[in-house]
Amino acid sequence: MVKEPPHTGETLICPVCGAKLTIAQEHPLEAVRSPQKPEEEILERVENYARLRGYVFDENKQEIVRGLLEKNERFGDFYCPCRFDNIPENICPCLETRQGYVNKEGSCL
């Protein structure tokens, strides 16, 4: 079964980062993060990402969320709380996580 491409105004969950996105235009495809309070957005994103990947958080989940929120307040996006450099590759989920490091090693670092 072939799935239809998303339509303008449709909301979906990004399979890469778990963010809730709204389709802004169809050709070329452009999506924007749905407006949410930072606390709601990051909790939803980490839950979606974990569910999509089959991950289970350990006892440090609240510390991770707090770190993401602090970096969002300070730098304007959800940069990985475990990394010092606030560069695009370290926006949560960071590049290493997206490339499977967590699957191989069992944790993010």
Stretch 90-101: mean pLDDT: 80
C-alpha torsion angle, residues 45, 54, 62, 92 (rounded to 10) = -40
Domain assignment present for residue 82? The answer is yes
**80/71 Cα distance (integer angstroms):** 8
Residue 108 has pLDDT above 80, yes or no: no
pLDDT at 29: 84
Give the 3-state secondary structure of residue 13: strand
Domain at 52, CATH number = 3.90.460.10
Q: What SS3 class is residue 10?
A: coil
What's the confidence (pLDDT) of residue 1? 67
Total count of domains within the chain: 1
The whole-number pLDDT of residue 58 equals 85
pTM, to two decimals:
0.73
Give the residue from 71, 106, 97 showing the smallest Cα distance to 85.
71
For position 71, what pLDDT does the model report? 92
Range of the domain at 101: 38-105
Half-sphere exposure of 101 (CA within 13 A, CB side): 9
Please report whether residue 50 resides in a domain.
yes
At residue 109, the pLDDT reads 63
The 10s digit of each residue's pLDDT in 21-71 is 899 998 888 888 888 899 999 999 889 888 888 888 888 889 989 999 999
Are the C-beta atoms of residues 20 and 13 closer than 8 Å to each other?
yes
